[in-house]
């Protein structure tokens, strides 16, 4: 059984139906990218997986546990880390305080380990740990959001466009950190908006989403090697 197994997931906003019977899987040690044009429903999908939308139907199973109807905080206890679109840092708190918020539910030994690991993964955060998060650049704030999500050492990490709008060097460094996290055994669901070809070099599998449905799934290597598939995946918009 996969680490994350989504099937028949439908959701929307009030009367607006956005996701239609979507399915996907993520295994251990796997980075799965979701690509698709603006408005395809990628963020809606991750919000539905995180149980943030009312009236979603279908099944979301994490580590053999059905998550439908659970609170988002319970998913965190089940080992799911989540970085929403735009990150979720607290600008009025210091970098260290932001990380302490992330690990507040952990026992003190695990919390200290989480902070130590965050500074090992992202040394720039360690150097500036006592500075206010408001002094960070956009890229560094995204780094902090990812570091905070990783600090509880989730088995499954769900990232909604963590690299959008960032400079290429930061995209590269964040991508390497995410890949190293996968190499430690985790599964990663990565919603991609900008520079999909660059991100797919770090991915194992990729799903194409359009109009609230999954159109296609393939290995990232096959997609990168096949012009026809690239055309199918990225001919839909011009962000590739």
Ligand X SMILES: Nc1ncnc2c1ncn2[C@@H]1O[C@H](COP(=O)(O)OP(=O)(O)OP(=O)(O)O)[C@@H](O)[C@H]1O
Give every strand in the sheet of 57-62, ordered side by side. 16-26, 4-13, 57-62, 65-66
Q: How does 86-95 read in b/e, with b if 16+ C-beta sit within 10 Å?
A: ebbbeeeebb
Is residue 44 involved in binding ligand X (CB under 6 A)? Answer: yes
Is residue 42 involved in binding ligand X (CB under 6 A)? Answer: yes
Of 7, 8, 13, 231, the one binding ligand X (CB under 6 A) is 13
CA distances (Å), origin 81, targets 50, 131, 163, 221:
9, 24, 17, 26
Is residue 36 involved in binding ligand X (CB under 6 A)? Answer: yes
Binding segment toward ligand X, per CB under 6 A, in 11-19, 89-97, 172-180, 198-206:
11-19
Is residue 196 involved in binding ligand X (CB under 6 A)? Answer: no
For residue 118 the two structure tokens come to 């965050």
Is residue 235 involved in binding ligand X (CB under 6 A)? Answer: no
Binding segment toward ligand X, per CB under 6 A, in 13-21, 95-103, 122-130, 228-236:
13-21
Of 17, 21, 29, 39, the one binding ligand X (CB under 6 A) is 39
Q: Which is nearer to ligand X, 97 or 194 (CB)?
A: 194
Binding segment toward ligand X, per CB under 6 A, in 33-41, 111-119, 140-148, 149-157:
33-41
Q: How does 171-195 read in b/e, with b if 16+ C-beta sit within 10 Å?
A: bebbbeebbebbeeebbbbbbbbeb
Q: Which is nearer to ligand X, 16 or 109 (CB)?
A: 16
Residue among 47, 48, 44, 49 at smallest CA distance from 26: 49
Positions in the binding site for ligand X (CB under 6 A): 13, 16, 18, 36, 38-44, 193
């Amino acid at each position: 059984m996969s680490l994350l197994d989504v099937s028949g997931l439908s959701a929307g906003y009030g009367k607006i139906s956005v996701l239609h019977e979507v399915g996907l899987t993520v295994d251990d040690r796997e980075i799965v990218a979701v690509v698709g044009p603006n408005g395809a429903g990628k963020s809606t999908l991750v919000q539905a997986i995180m149980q943030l939308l009312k009236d979603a139907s279908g099944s979301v199973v994490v580590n053999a546990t059905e998550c439908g109807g659970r609170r988002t905080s319970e998913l965190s206890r089940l080992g799911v880390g989540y970085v929403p679109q735009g990150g979720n840092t607290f600008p009025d708190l210091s970098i260290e305080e932001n990380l302490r918020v992330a690990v507040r539910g952990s026992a003190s030994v695990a919390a200290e380990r989480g902070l130590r690991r965050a500074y090992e993964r992202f040394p720039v955060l360690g150097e500036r740990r006592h500075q206010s998060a408001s002094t960070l650049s956009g890229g560094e704030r995204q780094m902090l959001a990812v570091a905070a999500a990783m600090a509880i050492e989730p088995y499954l990490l769900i990232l909604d466009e963590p690299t959008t709008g960032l400079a290429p060097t930061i995209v590269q460094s964040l991508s390497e950190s995410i890949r190293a996290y996968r190499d430690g055994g985790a599964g990663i669901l990565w919603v991609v908006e900008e520079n999909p070809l660059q991100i797919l070099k770090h991915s194992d599998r990729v799903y194409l989403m359009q109009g609230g449905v999954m159109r296609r799934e393939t290995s990232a290597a096959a997609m990168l090697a096949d012009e026809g598939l690239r055309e199918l995946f990225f001919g839909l918009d011009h962000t590739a």
